[in-house]
């Protein structure tokens, strides 16, 4: 199980894109803790123009994770990348394969699980 934190705000379409990419590219299930930044002035000052920001358990952050290549590199550095899924996505982005339909996230016990 991969546990990550997503700094976000309500209606963030880039955050939705990031979640869809995580579902596809991680080799293991992802538990995503969403942190709403609009309810905290300190978080707004830190993340307001950077969201979505993804953070791992050590606090290492990724800005603009909705950009597939940035997310690929970040996940690969942590050993979490599904290489076959990345190759397929890269082919889709290049127009060489039909896009895959993303699996929705589920909510269990107040936690959001991707894929």
Fold of the domain built from segment(s) 2-114: Glutaredoxin (3.40.30)
pLDDT of 115 over the 60 cut: no
- The CA distance from 98 to 18, in Å, is 20
pLDDT in tens, 11-51: 899 999 999 999 999 999 999 999 999 999 999 999 989 99
pLDDT in tens, 64-94: 889 999 999 999 999 999 999 999 999 998 8
102 with 92: CB under 8 angstroms?
no
Main-chain phi, psi angles of 53, to 5 degrees? -120, 125
- The CA distance from 61 to 85, in Å, is 22
Run of H or E residues at 54:
strand 53-55
């Amino acid at each position: 199980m991969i546990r990550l934190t997503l700094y976000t705000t309500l209606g963030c379409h880039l955050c939705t894109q990031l979640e869809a990419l995580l579902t596809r590219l991680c080799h293991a299930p992802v538990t995503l803790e969403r942190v709403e930044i609009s309810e905290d002035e300190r978080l707004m000052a830190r993340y307001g123009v950077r969201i979505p920001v993804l953070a791992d358990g050590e606090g290492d952050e990724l800005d603009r994770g909705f950009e597939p290549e940035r997310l690929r590199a970040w996940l690969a550095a942590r050993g979490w990348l599904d290489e076959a899924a990345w190759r397929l996505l890269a082919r889709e982005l290049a127009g060489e394969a039909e896009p895959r339909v993303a699996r929705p996230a589920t909510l269990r016990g107040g936690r959001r699980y991707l894929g």
